[in-house]
């Protein structure tokens, strides 16, 4: 969680303690610009401005047919790694609307704010810490800030602005009916700690995980889906015996770096950034961020995920405020204690953007006539690809339709697939490359005779002739984990 002394972003400067992990290459290799990704997302219907027919809402985005698959795959992989494959983590889902007491006890009402400055000339408002970082190179550096909108140096004194969205439950607006849209998913795991622990019969060390929407009234949203006011988080609270917390923290830092790398992000584009002491949130003993290198000048190294040792702050705070017992009783030792909490807190929408950046490649490849052409290809890990297989009848002729539909009926049972019979086959391959489909299956006139199809591999562009009867097992072998 960000406090009023929260971490400024982006982190593009020296002087911070950083390390890339598990790689001998230290220079980031990602070069694509944000505007290229935004354009691709719009032209292919991945992510686009919300309600654009009415002019849109600033920095609010909708996910189209491909975007919703991609984002859900990111979340599915997180859940698989963090919950399904472990015997020490269970899941839950908390309501988005919650009472004032939760956010009072958690410290959000008092601390969940950003320093805001207003320009006396054009009246636009900005995050002071971001302006300090981009214009002066650091939070504590003295100097006069310039309004990025009108260029005047008439910015006022910073005022703290609370980032939570408030609304009313029921027909009467009063202080008693106030509810808040959660600004993070983490508090759901703390307030439900006793019931989830008891009913799942877990003992520390164990975790509770949750994914879902969070809302922050960000002063300066932007950089596409990197910072929005409505976004999705994937958070896990790992409850451990005090004294074992530092080792578990390191364990989760390593595990989370491995997760991004295993799903295809090149190690040299990832790094760990250690929070300085004066940057730590009020509850944290140690925090590190997993950062990704977004090459745009306004982004640079930017946080994908925060990993905090939250100590026993949250359980104690909610115990004090609610009067309920939030301790764990260790029957063997005969002791009662508040577990310490290690929190890997990731953004699903922000991670989706990073996966898009890292997968985007422009390559030279021969076309059907053997002439070199540039092709855009999203080299997404197949587990993240929106469609795993595209079924493409060579021509739109009715004679091919039954065989092509038969193939589609086989593959769609197991994977998200697309059936596409419009345009030339070359253009259809290019489209599938651009949206990251790992395999294209072409049904041609020979298929009617030999009951076989041509399977094209996105990355190598090599083609195999495969019997329709063997197609499913051929693809299962090549799409592990999908």
Closest contact distance (angstroms) between CB of 129 and ligand ATP is 10
DSSP state of 80: I
Output helix, strand, coil percentages for the chain, rounded to the nearest 5: 30, 30, 40
Contact between 216 and 123 (Cβ < 8 Å): no
> x/- site string to ligand ATP, residues 168 to 187, per CB under 6 A?
----------------x---
Q: Does 355 bind ligand ATP (CB under 6 A)?
A: no
User: Residue 271 in 3-state DSSP?
Assistant: strand
Stated as kind and residue range, the H or E segment containing 167 is strand 165-168
Which two structure tokens, joined as six digits, stand for 309?
A: 């040792």
User: Residue 327 in 3-state DSSP?
Assistant: coil
Closest contact distance (angstroms) between CB of 372 and ligand ATP is 39
Q: Does 9 bind ligand ATP (CB under 6 A)?
A: yes
Among 67, 158, 205, 306, binds ligand ATP (CB under 6 A): 306
Closest contact distance (angstroms) between CB of 477 and ligand ATP is 34
Among 228, 309, 442, 447, binds ligand ATP (CB under 6 A): 228
Q: Does 346 bind ligand ATP (CB under 6 A)?
A: yes
Which two structure tokens, joined as six digits, stand for 23?
A: 């790689």
Contact between 468 and 451 (Cβ < 8 Å): yes
In 3D space, the residue among 162, 74, 105, 129 whose CA is nearest the CA of residue 319 turns out to be 105
Closest contact distance (angstroms) between CB of 218 and ligand ATP is 5
Which residue is closest to ligand ATP by CB?
Answer: 347
Among 347, 386, 393, 438, binds ligand ATP (CB under 6 A): 347
Q: Does 433 bind ligand ATP (CB under 6 A)?
A: no
User: Residue 207 in 3-state DSSP?
Assistant: strand
Residue 438: how many other CB atoms lie within 10 Å: 24
Closest contact distance (angstroms) between CB of 108 and ligand ATP is 10
Q: What gap in Å lies between CA 389 and CA 478, rounded to an integer? A: 11
Among 349, 352, 432, 442, binds ligand ATP (CB under 6 A): 349
Q: What gap in Å lies between CA 328 and CA 393, rounded to an integer? A: 61
Q: What is the 3-state secondary structure (H, E, C) of 348-387?
A: HHHHHHHHHHHHEEEEEEECCCCCEEEEEEECCCCCCCCC
Among 44, 202, 216, 267, binds ligand ATP (CB under 6 A): 216
Q: Does 299 bind ligand ATP (CB under 6 A)?
A: no
Which two structure tokens, joined as six digits, stand for 100?
A: 């004032």
Q: Does 7 bind ligand ATP (CB under 6 A)?
A: yes
Size, binding site for ligand ATP by CB under 6 A = 21
Contact between 231 and 212 (Cβ < 8 Å): no
> x/- site string to ligand ATP, residues 245 to 284, per CB under 6 A?
----------------------------------------
Closest contact distance (angstroms) between CB of 302 and ligand ATP is 7
Q: Does 305 bind ligand ATP (CB under 6 A)?
A: yes
Region of 313-321, 347-355, 401-409, 440-448 interacting with ligand ATP (CB under 6 A): 347-355
Region of 293-301, 324-332, 340-348, 474-482 interacting with ligand ATP (CB under 6 A): 340-348
Closest contact distance (angstroms) between CB of 216 and ligand ATP is 5
Q: Does 11 bind ligand ATP (CB under 6 A)?
A: no
Q: What gap in Å lies between CA 371 and CA 37, rounded to an integer? A: 27
Residue for token digits 């390191």? 250
Region of 76-84, 85-93, 251-259, 297-305 interacting with ligand ATP (CB under 6 A): 297-305
Q: What gap in Å lies between CA 226 and CA 349, rounded to an integer? A: 7
Residue for token digits 């999705």? 232
HSE (side-chain half, CA atoms, 13 Å) at 444: 13
Region of 268-276, 344-352, 365-373, 390-398 interacting with ligand ATP (CB under 6 A): 344-352
Among 185, 187, 233, 311, binds ligand ATP (CB under 6 A): 233
Q: Does 345 bind ligand ATP (CB under 6 A)?
A: yes
Contact residues: ligand ATP, CB under 6 A: 1-2, 6-7, 9, 184, 216, 218, 227-228, 231, 233, 303-306, 345-347, 349-350
């Amino acid at each position: 969680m960000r406090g009023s002394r929260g971490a400024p972003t982006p982190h593009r400067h020296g002087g911070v303690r950083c390390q890339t992990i598990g790689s001998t290459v230290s220079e980031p290799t990602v070069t694509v610009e944000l505007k290229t990704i935004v354009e691709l997302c719009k032209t292919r219907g991945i992510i686009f401005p919300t309600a654009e027919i009415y002019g849109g809402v600033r920095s609010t985005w909708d996910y189209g047919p491909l975007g919703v698959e991609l984002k859900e795959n990111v979340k599915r992989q997180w859940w698989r790694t963090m919950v399904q494959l472990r015997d020490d983590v269970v899941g839950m889902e908390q309501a988005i609307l919650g009472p004032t007491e939760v956010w009072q006890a958690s410290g959000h009402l008092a601390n969940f704010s950003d320093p805001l400055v207003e320009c006396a000339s054009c009246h636009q408002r900005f995050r002071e810490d971001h302006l300090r970082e981009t214009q002066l190179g650091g939070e504590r550096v003295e100097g006069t800030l310039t309004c990025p909108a009108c260029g005047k140096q008439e910015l006022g004194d910073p005022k703290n602005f609370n980032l939570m969205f408030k609304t009313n439950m029921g027909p009467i607006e009063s202080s008693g009916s106030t509810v808040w849209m959660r600004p993070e998913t983490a508090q759901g795991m703390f307030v439900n700690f006793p019931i989830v622990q008891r009913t799942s019969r877990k003992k520390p060390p164990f975790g509770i995980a949750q994914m879902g929407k969070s809302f922050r009234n960000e002063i300066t949203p932007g950089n596409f889906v990197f910072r929005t006011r409505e976004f999705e988080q994937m958070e896990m609270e790992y409850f451990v015996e005090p004294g074992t917390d530092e080792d578990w923290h390191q364990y989760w830092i390593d595990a989370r770096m491995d997760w991004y790398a295993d799903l295809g992000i090149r190690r040299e584009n990832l790094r760990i950034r250690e929070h300085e002491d004066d940057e730590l949130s009020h509850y944290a003993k140690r925090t590190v961020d997993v950062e990704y290198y977004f090459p745009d000048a306004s982004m640079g190294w930017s946080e994908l995920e925060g990993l905090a040792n939250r100590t026993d702050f949250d359980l104690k705070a909610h115990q004090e405020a609610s009067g309920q017992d939030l301790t764990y009783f260790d029957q063997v030792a005969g002791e009662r204690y508040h577990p310490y909490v290690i929190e890997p807190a990731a953004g699903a929408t922000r991670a989706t953007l990073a996966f898009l950046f890292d997968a985007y490649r422009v390559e030279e490849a021969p076309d059907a006539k053997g002439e070199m052409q540039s092709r855009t290809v999203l080299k997404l890990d197949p587990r993240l690809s929106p469609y795993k297989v595209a079924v493409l009848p060579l021509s739109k002729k009715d004679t091919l339709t039954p065989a092509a539909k038969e193939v589609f009926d086989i593959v769609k049972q197991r994977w998200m697939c697309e059936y596409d019979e419009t345009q030339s086959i070359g253009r259809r391959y290019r489209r599938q490359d651009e949206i990251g489909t790992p395999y294209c299956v072409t049904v041609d006139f020979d298929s009617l005779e030999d009951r076989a199809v041509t399977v094209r591999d996105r990355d190598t562009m090599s083609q195999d002739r495969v019997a329709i009867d063997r197609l499913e097992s051929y693809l299962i072998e090549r799409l592990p984990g999908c």
